[in-house]
Structure 1
Amino acid sequence: MSGKRLFQSVAEQISELIEQGAFPAGTRLPGERELAERLGVSRVTIREAEIALQAVGRLEIKTGSGVYVSENQPAAHAVLPKASAFEVTEARLLVESEAAALAAHNITDEGVARLEELLEQMRTGDHDAANEADELFHRTIAEASNNTALVHTIQSLWRMREDLPEVKATYEAVCVDDAESRTAEHRAVFEALRARDAAAARTAMREHFHRLINAMLDATERMALEEVQQRASQSRERFLVAARMS
């Protein structure tokens, strides 16, 4: 799988069509089936792309009516603030725990089934597939909260996770080391949502992020030690070269 996930590529294609005037502001998008055939992807991928575009303000999803192009389109490249991996994760803990609690009240049977599919994808052993499933798992929960502001906030935090180099590097170090724990924690969130238990969903999501923060501390210490060792090795090499030349 390429670095860019399929639904992200589809979201970019839809954005380009909007900018080219194929889908003017305020108009209703074609249905999922028509868009899927037009872009050569599944209806699930179209739905995920639409959720992503709603989160950044390009689309509005109106239950029972359809998907519409927003009247006020956002800037093409919003500037992300500087933030550490710990700040991003702390914000995710606060926001996504409450989103999970809301989702427990509102999630549909289809949403529960989708989360179960994503859990299975996390267990395939494919690192890229697991990361994609992880993101879609959290997006699906955000969408199930039925709160557009929460969806937008969580999407922004995921952008920071993926697009800020230091944050991305820290997450990648943690996710590789803790793949088994990550899957188990997502399973706990899923079981709470399937039971429509808001308190349990909130607790499971908070425990997931608490473990993630602790793992980040360990990873950061390890990376700092490796950097010190590398610098020491370089200094030793320079000293040896200078000694041979003297």
Structure 2
Amino acid sequence: MTGTQLKQVESKRLYQHIADQIRSLIQSGGFAAGSRLPPERDLAQQLGVSRPSLREALIALEISGLVEIRQGSGVYVCRAADRQASAITGLGESPSELMQARAVLEGAVIVLATALTTPDSLTRLRDTLDAMRANVDEGRSPLAHDRAFHVCIAEMSGNSVLVRMVAELFDERHSPISARLSGHAETSQTWAAALAEHEAIYRALEERDPLAAQSAIRNHLKASGTRWIEGG
């Protein structure tokens, strides 16, 4: 072992395993270049996986140049697919698992925040909502204000570790797979829905109701995951 440096083995995420399986099928001729893959429902059933996990795998394959996702038409094998040989790695956390983790963490954080809510903290939260609404009305992405809203709630908990965790999970949206997914899913309508859910969270905090606040933020993150990952 002297002089030999071992590389850390990467633990593959589920979507990477699914993507590698589809890639192998493409390269072995199971799906011809230029052909359309089966509908998501059928392909998920054939592979024995959930549709969210399959969608993540297809996004990963699109990033690698193996397939092209055409909205309203389907997923097509790219002409150069037979020249792609590398496995799907380094694209980020599973978006569906990310949203589950956020729901667990932020659902607990907001209970603490509710107990420590002050008029000043509500004012800061209201300001982020107003800025988010202005962006939505102008047709611009309110992502920065979306982040500020969730981080502000974490700051209301008074726990700096929780603030950092909430911010880090939110920032995973900038990973290659999450960013590409956002490009497919985010519209002015989805942002308007997210804003309405933020308003419900704000009202629960304003009323100092921890159970209502927890329910509101978990419902928001579940709905966001559905819009973001499942396209619904």
Amino acid in structure 2 at the alignment position of 1:105:
A
Aligned match of 1:166 = 177
Task: State the aligned residue count.
Answer: 140
8 Å CA contact retained: 2:122, 2:206: yes
Deviations 1:107-139 (A, max 9, x none): 221110111111111211245562111110011
CA distance in 1, matches of 2:183, 2:202: 23
1:69-148 to structure 2, matched below 5 A, reads 82-124=92-134, 125-126=137-138, 128=140, 130-148=142-160
CA distance in 1, matches of 2:116, 2:171: 25
TM-score for both structures, normalised by structure 2: 0.55
State the secondary structure of the residue aligned to 1:83. coil
Aligned match of 2:204 = 192
1:16-95 to structure 2, matched below 5 A, reads 82-95=92-105
CA distance in 1, matches of 2:113, 2:182: 25
Runs (5+) with no aligned partner, structure 1: 1-79, 222-246
CA distance in 2, matches of 1:144, 1:107: 6
State the secondary structure of the residue aligned to 2:230. helix
CA distance in 2, matches of 1:172, 1:202: 29
TM-score for both structures, normalised by structure 1: 0.52
State the secondary structure of the residue aligned to 2:208. coil
Amino acid in structure 2 at the alignment position of 1:216:
W
8 Å CA contact retained: 1:121, 1:129: no
8 Å CA contact retained: 1:100, 1:201: yes
2:220 is the alignment partner of 1:208? yes
CA shift in 2, pair 1:185/1:196, >3 Å: same
Distance apart, 1:210 and its partner CA: 1.1
1:1-12 to structure 2, matched below 5 A, reads none
Deviations 1:161-195 (A, max 9, x none): 22x11112223443424111101100000001111
Runs (5+) with no aligned partner, structure 2: 1-89
8 Å CA contact retained: 1:85, 1:171: no
Amino acid in structure 1 at the alignment position of 2:178:
V
| Larger helix fraction of residues | 1
Question: Quick one: percent identity of the two aligned structures?
Answer: 28
Amino acid in structure 2 at the alignment position of 1:167:
S
CA distance in 2, matches of 1:109, 1:132: 23
State the secondary structure of the residue aligned to 1:123. helix
Deviations 1:66-104 (A, max 9, x none): xxxxxxxxxxxxxx9931211111111111111111111
8 Å CA contact retained: 1:174, 1:212: no
Alpha-carbon RMSD across the aligned residues, in angstroms, is 2.1
CA shift in 2, pair 1:99/1:120, >3 Å: same
Question: Which of 152, 157, 182 lines up with 2:194 in the alignment?
Answer: 182
Deviations 1:15-53 (A, max 9, x none): xxxxxxxxxxxxxxxxxxxxxxxxxxxxxxxxxxxxxxx
CA distance in 2, matches of 1:170, 1:129: 15
